[in-house]
Amino acid sequence: MKIVVVLTLVLIVAAGTIEAQTAGEGSMCSGFAGVQCRAGLFCDYSLGSAGICRRRNGFSG
């Protein structure tokens, strides 16, 4: 029973760290892992199915 509890806690912590992952400017975003860009960046899909994080060019949000 202790093993089940420990494994459950490990999975919860791991899911939280994966979910919080963000990409910086020039890094790959979206794709299979669903990585989001950091604040002030957007995911540019012009190069394919996975995008590249780019600066928003002065737009807020």
List per-residue pLDDT tens for the chain, 61 residues long: 788 666 666 666 665 555 558 899 999 998 777 889 999 999 999 877 789 999 987 655 4
* Structural domain contains residue 5: no
Parent domain of 48 = 22-61
* Structural domain contains residue 34: yes
pLDDT at residue 36, as a whole number:
92
* Structural domain contains residue 13: no
* Structural domain contains residue 54: yes
How far is residue 48's CA from residue 61's CA, in Å, rounded to a whole number?
Answer: 24
Verdict on whether the full-model pTM lies above 0.85: no
pLDDT at residue 31, as a whole number:
76
* Structural domain contains residue 17: no
* Nearest to 26, CA basis, from 56, 53, 46: 53
